[in-house]
Structure 1
Amino acid sequence: MEKDNQIFGLRAIIEAIQSGAVIDKVFVQKEAAGDLMKELMKAIKKANVNFSYVPVEKLNRLTSHNHQGAVATISPIAFHDLESLVNSITESGQMPLLLILDQLSDARNFGAIIRTAECTGVNGIIVQKSGSAPVNGDTVKTSAGAVFNVPICKVEHIKDAIFYLQGSGIKTMAATEKTDVNIYDINFNEPVAIIMGSEDRGINPSVLKIVDEKAKLPMFGTIGSLNVSVACGAFLYEAVRQRS
């Protein structure tokens, strides 16, 4: 983790949250107690900040300073409001091309996807506040700086975002092997949001139930799966091919 991208210590993190700093995630020591820790957790929940409980060894790896049981990462970017983003895309006359990342957890995969998204003209990326990869130094580096060019929206629930997009006339299309439909049979020449799943579990079954379409990449090897950032690139460039 980048040292200039982190805050350590209970009081420092509390003050950062209360001051309105864009906190990407707080790592909290398991079974930590005390009045100040209770105050921190109250502030985290009130501001709806993403957090996770971790062993003290994890915190010690994040920083050599006296962390008092908590380390936070500050996001290097400001996140966008989904409704405002969709409205701005519509008003600009562009045909929306959006990405939804369902519980993607690896910062480097996230960065690689952002880089490809920037190169393919993606209008915005939607992630869930809880359980998603952080926007940290690894993300910035792997994205080659593209993270500063592609709007990223954090939403409470992916399913609510999908319902909103569908109501806005944007087709939602899940990239999943749980379908017989080939990617090359999908029409990308219309407003569309492509949904990619997490590295280990794929797209949540409850999300798959509500999407408009599903598509898979043809696979001919024995492994049967691609890295999510590679698969995402294949889907995005098929959209570019059809729209060119």
Structure 2
Amino acid sequence: MIFGIHPVREAIEAGTEIEKIYFRKTAGESLTAADRTNAGAASALREQAEEAGIHIQEVPVEKLNRLTRNGNHQGVAAVIAAISYKDINELAEELEAQIAAGEAPLVMLIDSVTDIRNFGAIARSAECAGVAALIMPAKNSAPVNAEAIKSSAGALTLIPVSRVGSLKGAVALLRNIGMQCVAATEKSDTLVYETDFTRPTVIVMGAEDKGISRDILNLCDMRACIPLAGRIESLNVGAAAAVVLFEARRQRFEQG
């Protein structure tokens, strides 16, 4: 955590990986003269953060006081990312080279998974299954923090993670280099066991409550479901990801 207008600005300009920036919510609050002085600089910083694609959130001053332990935050605090993210274009180039060499990379793309424990479980299963990279949205996603790393048993420090502003753009890019996109969803009559995962594949998993968004679902090449025999309608996304990943791993193992 870093705080204060100038330290946060310097971190952005230095290219520091920033998970999120909290700005003081000023609507309806009484401001001191110092607060009003900082407001202009904080507004300019907010524009800079938005241009850099950094997720921002407005919070009451009480939360900023707690986060900074009553430090001189000037209405701004930033959470530094616990890992270095992989650029999606650089990742695509590496995957394309692997495909050209006759390999079949496996990638996991998660659409708005916000629960840290599920996110960590997905990363752990992905690393154990030999996934080449994990792709996640910059917004509406679980933070990559110490708790997430612990939930992943350290997998998030081992597997490349790409955080993108547009999941649609990422899907289009990966399809363009020759990867098929398979949506893991109950909205399918095709079982995961009937799906060919031996090809270069992006497995798409959706949010815990809403599943994969319609826009992303429509971009996928195919949909596959996990057959359930019990009375509960679905697995949580962490368990579902493990099932799909290791079905892909099984197929590749049998193929040799």
TM-score by length of 1: 0.90
| The 10-residue stretch of structure 1 (76-85 or 136-145) with the greater mean CA deviation from structure 2 | 76-85
2:18 to 8, 20, 23: 23
Report the 3-state secondary structure (helix = DSSP H, G, I; strand = E; otherwise coil) of the residue aligned with 2:219: coil
Change (3 A) 1:27 1:201: farther
CA distance in 2, matches of 1:168, 1:192: 11
Report the 3-state secondary structure (helix = DSSP H, G, I; strand = E; otherwise coil) of the residue aligned with 1:12: helix
**Deviation per residue, 1:14-34 (Å, 9 max, x gap):** 221122211111122333671
Q: CA deviation at 1:72?
A: 1.5
CA distance in 1, matches of 2:65, 2:242: 36
Tell me the equivalent position of 1:171.
180
CA distance in 2, matches of 1:197, 1:62: 30
Percent of counterpart pairs with the same letter?
Answer: 41
Say whether residues 1:98 and 2:107 are aligned partners.
Answer: yes
**Deviation per residue, 1:195-227 (Å, 9 max, x gap):** 011122111011111210011111222221211
| The 10-residue stretch of structure 1 (79-88 or 135-144) with the greater mean CA deviation from structure 2 | 79-88
**Deviation per residue, 1:94-114 (Å, 9 max, x gap):** 311001111112233222211
Q: CA deviation at 1:61?
A: 4.6
Tell me the equivalent position of 1:108.
117
| Contact persistence 1:76–1:135 (CA under 8 A) | yes
Change (3 A) 1:239 1:52: same
Tell me the equivalent position of 2:82.
76
Q: RMSD between aligned alpha carbons?
A: 1.8
TM-score by length of 2: 0.86
Report the 3-state secondary structure (helix = DSSP H, G, I; strand = E; otherwise coil) of the residue aligned with 2:188: coil
Tell me the equivalent position of 1:184.
193
CA radius of gyration, larger in:
2
| The 10-residue stretch of structure 1 (78-87 or 124-133) with the greater mean CA deviation from structure 2 | 78-87
1:10 to 5, 10, 25: 5
CA distance in 2, matches of 1:217, 1:62: 41
Say whether residues 1:133 and 2:114 are aligned partners.
Answer: no
- What amino acid is the match of 1:215? A
CA distance in 2, matches of 1:53, 1:131: 15
Q: CA deviation at 1:91?
A: 2.8
